[in-house]
Amino acid sequence: MPSKPVDPHEVRAAVEAVLPWLAGEADKPERPVLAAAVRLSLRTLEQVAPGRSVEVRVPPFAAVQCVAGPRHTRGTPPNVIETDPRTWLELAVGRLGWAQALDDAKVTASGSRADLSTLLPVLRF
């Protein structure tokens, strides 16, 4: 079941708090600040692309299921995307393209539906 709708103002505030870090202008944010930005941006993706055929993991903060298609119920999903928090946030706000992230091995994507290129960025600044 998808999580409750996110407040766009809450998402924007959470992600804006990490933008200086993404731009290389500040130190890494404190864990709760980074966690909020990752979780809320992933929930935004979940709302933009509802479904349960792809699992997007950003350890240690969150994982969501999204993208319409066959539903996954047990074990390891057939379509999995995993990345670190910084890379996810760069993808989410459009500072990094999907193809470049794959080419640079910043993202692992397995399965025929594990492609977020048409869904990113989920936020624009």
Give 16-33 pLDDT, tens digit per residue: 999 999 999 999 999 999
Q: Give 69 or 83, the one with higher predicted confidence.
A: 83
Number of domains composing the chain:
1
Q: Give 42 or 71, the one with higher predicted confidence.
A: 42
The mean pLDDT value for 64-91 works out to 88
Question: By three-state DSSP, how is residue 29 classified?
Answer: coil
The answer to whether position 13 is within a domain reads yes
Contact present, 80 and 55 (Cβ < 8 Å) = yes
The answer to whether position 1 is within a domain reads no
Contact present, 47 and 81 (Cβ < 8 Å) = no
Name the residue with tokens 């946030």.
Answer: 89
CA neighbor of 101 nearest in space, from 40, 56, 39: 56
Structural domain containing residue 87:
8-110
The answer to whether position 116 is within a domain reads no
pTM given for the model: 0.93
The answer to whether position 71 is within a domain reads yes
